[in-house]
Structure 1
Amino acid sequence: MRFVAWSGMMERPAATEPASPFRTARQREEDRLAKREAVLRAAVRMFNERGVHATSLDDVAASLGISKRTIYHYLASKDQVLLECVTIGLQQLLQAAEAAREEESTTKGRLVRFLRRYAEINMDDFGRCVIRTGEESLAPESRPRFRALKREIDDALRRMLSEAIADGAIAPVDVKMAAFALAGALNWPARWHSPDGGRSAEELAASLVDILLGGLLPRV
């Protein structure tokens, strides 16, 4: 009897590459941004609670359990930390204006939506910091950016008011004075609103805007 030799081999599972113990460039960048954001979040809360001048980077570092030197890996100075905090708040307001324009079809709808978000943002950490920070708290070289962003927000509000007046959605008023009055009223919750209060920021914002746009006098 003849035996035929079998030359085949059992299939083996394909080899897999071992997971690298090293973080990728993308992971390192995400980690850096998360740590930078943690520094800004801790700083903005201290600025709001204690005031800018009474808060040091040593205080911020201690609250995070790190050294002040570690903060310098992400932000160069206290002034840069403050500028970043107010910039975030101001950019949130600009984004709110853009969202209102993109997502609301009527001039009154855009105005109401923007004003409500304006008030809500000013009751949150970064918006609150914008309202509580005078430009004198920033270094002279940082003030032009602060002023420019605030001017963009004022321009956005004035455009919405002008458009609502033009199509009869609101009464004809002095646009400049109306913008000042609305912004002034909606900035103040940044000073008196407490997150632990009985009403949410969203509820308060809606009530404030209803009063401001509806007025207080009885209808005749």
Structure 2
Amino acid sequence: MLPDSPFRSPAQRAADRAAKRDAVLRAAVRMFNERGFHATSLDDVATSLGISKRTIYHYLASKDQVLLECVTIGLNQLLDAAAEARTEEGSGRARLARFLRRYAEINMDDFGRCVIRTGEEALSAESRPRFRALKRQIDSALRQLLSDAIADGTIAATDVRMTAFALAGALNWPARWHDPSGAMPPDAVAATLVDVLLRGLDPRPVPGPAHSPSERS
């Protein structure tokens, strides 16, 4: 393409399409989080962007696909955070803490919040397997980080499955109660919660054998 050509290159057109598709998803996810999935229509999303609903169909086939894309983005953000934590320097406990902080932060952002606030029951039967598969991958990644920290002795030996459920449950809730316009930013909320949770995983000293009074004298 000549430098002064009025026509956009294929790469520029692809970038424009990706940006417009992202704008639709971002507008939709914010409405889903504020109003609820069932109370939000694609007409509402289109109006907020100053476009027609027909325009949305150029980028996404249905409201169900919009929701699936939104939750997939949030779940992939969590998977990326787990992968990054596993490659970082430090102890197993330090890598676990890094992931848990990012886990909480992501769940207080738009797409992660949608995963928690909407849930699989809003998805169609065709979309749920993909959602469940991604959630299983995140659970597996969390369990592996826990197992690594137990193996190097930086957290106490614990039931990995139940601990993963407890940590995820605690760090999912800020998606429902945290106010983005509040005084405490997401990173501060995440750091505080993770600090509280991990103190419960501190290794305990093994008690020594009991001695009778005559043995101590």
* TM-score (normalizing by structure 1): 0.89
CA contact (8 A) 2:155 2:201 kept: no
**Structure 2 CA distance, aligned partners of 1:60 and 1:198?**
29
Counterpart amino acid of 1:210? Answer: D
Structure 1 residue 43 corresponds to structure 2 residue 28: yes
| 1:87 aligns to 2:59 (yes or no) | no
- For structure 1, list consecutive stretches of 5 or more residues without a partner in the other structure: 1-16
Query: In structure 1, the residue corresponding to 2:194 is in which secondary structure?
Result: helix
Tell me the distance in 1 between the aligned counterparts of 2:155 and 2:50. 52
Residues paired across the two proteins, number = 203
> Which residue does the alignment assign to 2:162?
177
1:143 and 2:106 correspond: no
> What secondary structure sits across from 1:203 in the alignment?
helix
Aligned residue in 1 for 2:176 = 191
Distance 1:68 1:142 in 2: 22
Matches within 5 A, 1:93-104: 93-104=78-89
Query: How many Å separate the matches in 1 of 2:83 and 2:181?
Result: 30
| Bigger CA radius of gyration | 1
User: Could you tell me which amino acid in structure 2 is paired with residue 83 of structure 1?
Assistant: L
Please report how far the alpha carbon of residue 194 of structure 1 lies from its aligned counterpart in structure 2 after TM superposition.
0.6
Give the CA deviation at 1:59: 0.4
1:84 Cα deviation from its structure 2 partner: 0.1
User: In the alignment, does 2:19 pair up with 1:34?
Assistant: yes
Residue 105 (structure 2) pairs with residue 113 (structure 1): no
- C-alpha distance in 2, partners of 1:215/1:166? 17
Matches within 5 A, 1:122-133: 122-133=107-118
Contact in 1 for aligned 2:156/2:201 (Cα 8 Å): no
Deviation at 1:191?
A: 0.1
Alignment-mate amino acid for residue 21 of structure 2: R
Matched residue of 1:149: which SS? helix
Q: Which amino acid aligns with 1:178?
A: T
CA distance in 2, matches of 1:170, 1:71: 49
What is the SS of the residue equivalent to 1:100?
helix
Instruction: Give 1:80's aligned amino acid.
Output: Q
Contiguous gaps of at least 5 residues in structure 2: 206-217
Instruction: Give 2:93's aligned amino acid.
Output: K
CA distance in 1, matches of 2:155, 2:134: 26
SS in 2 for 1:53: coil
Worse-superposed segment, 132-141 or 186-195: 132-141
Alignment partners' CA distance in 1, 2:16 and 2:31: 23
CA distance 1:172–1:61, change in 2 (3 Å): same
Cα separation, 2, equivalents of 1:88 and 1:54: 21
- The offset of 1:166, in angstroms, is 1.1
Equivalent position of 2:138 in the other structure: 153
Given the two structures, how large is their TM-score scaled by the length of structure 2? 0.91
Change over 3 Å in CA distance of 1:216–1:152 after alignment to 2: closer
After TM superposition, give the deviation of residue 18 of structure 1 in Å: 5.9
Mapped contact 2:24–2:56 kept (Cα < 8 A): yes
User: What amino acid maps onto 2:150 in structure 1?
Assistant: I
